[in-house]
Structure 1
Amino acid sequence: YDINRRIVLAMRLLGVGVNGIKKFCAFMCLPNPIFQSFYDKIVSTISIATAAVREKSMKNAAAKEKELSVQKGLAERIVVSGDGTWKKRGFSSLLGVTSLIGWCTGKVIDVNVKSKICNQCNYWKKKEGTAEYEEWAETHKDSCQKNHEGSAGKMEVDAVIQMFQRSEELHGLKYSHYVGDGDSKTFKGILDSNPYENLDVKKKECIDHVQKRMGTRLRNLKKNVRGLGGKGKLTGKLIDDLSLYFGLAIRRNHNSIVDMKKEIWATLYHKISTD
């Protein structure tokens, strides 16, 4: 029934599984929900549908990114930014998702999910050595969800490398520049993998992260140098202002290092002026 599909979809969007659906129905005095087997079928159907929508959306985003990049004279090459997120903080997560976003459109053009676990493998492990297990293992290999070995922090590095390596096959494009968040491990991984012939990927720094690092260093300086902070000195508000204007100077003069340097120094001179 349609209502069964809808409640599964709604609960999955909330991160709730079949047990959560049972609790919800119990509290709402509703009839018993669907069985686990039918729930799995609905989830599988939803997964197929969302995968199709995802692929089409990313194809369209990549095509638009290519169009805008050609207008900027980048030919068959585009600039992308990448970042990862994990299910848990502290690099102890078993699941991680990394995405690449087009610089011109701001739209996602590729995603890569990394997992250190597979629930089906865990379930069948207790039956290992049986004929039933061998039969299951032959059909499960291609659909196993476990695709990562190593630390959670390495998930982002491996995911970005894979997305660069498949860019030509997926979109017919090369990612010529990578906008990073200051993490040199990811960019080093891209360079070491050498995803393209006759093209060295170059890195662009994310201005937001550069601006953030300026604030961090000023706060550390204030903390470590006695007497630097306080009224009329390096206050928290002044640090925020200097960081903000530092970022603005970079954004407004990204085509001229000389003008960028002048505006950065002008900010400092303005702030220390007594006029």
Structure 2
Amino acid sequence: MKMEIPAYCLASVFLYLITVSLFAKDQSIIVETRPAEKAAVTCFGGQELKIQLDVYGTTDKISILADLYQISTSLVVPVSKDLPVAENINLSENIKRSIDFTVRIPDVEKTTKFLLKYKTENEQGQWTVVGSTIVTAYPNNILNPIRTYGERNLISILGESKTLRKFLDSQKVTFESLGDKIPLDGKPRIILYEHAENDWLKFPESLSVSQVLVVFYSPPSGIPRIFSKQFGGGALIEVKMGLMDKLDNKPEAQEIFLEIFKDAVEQLQGKTGREK
């Protein structure tokens, strides 16, 4: 009886062979992302990314190139080849050199992973892999759902909330300023509040059924967490994660901010019956 090998098995073997060829290494030179625990870095797509690298070896003169790949669970797709990383590095007197490498990551429509593969030419004239960096790229429009929501619904800022105001302004999100008091006008609204250390502003005793208050503690206190509870007729979401100082340049922080906002919208809609 003839046995047929399933197509997915053949594909797995093919991918394994590609991976082996990509990661064969020249052990005389090593390139590591600095610091070592940040071998996986994040950025926004369509922007230049600066990566700090440590180069180890004993060679008197080496040059390093990089190949950029887009990767997924089943594919490794070349994007750019032979990107210059460093030229004529001398490691004969110091076995470690620190360098900066800048690369432009392509635009992405969704969160996408890329692989940077560093390579050098050995004495036999062969280019071999000496290190790699995984890059997670996020779309620049992560906060589009919040912008869209703010065009048709009330997003309110309570108190001073300096970082929140500056961030939402930079992202062109429409919001209203409440000052130091939450109005009792019955209008459905999501209220954002940055609770700074020693802030004199006190929480309201309760919220109306049409209000959801999201409090971001800055700096955070205790164990990082997000906690949601009923607060009078409304809802209170407490965020103790230290997001405020990361919102400008950390896409993963913006992604968390978006998920928190979506949770607030769902809670508000559950209380008011409003549609998105």
Give TM-score scaled by structure 2 length.
0.21
- Greater share of residues in strand: 2
More helix by share: 1
> TM-score by structure 1 length?
0.21
Higher relative contact order (CA 8 A, sep 6+): 2
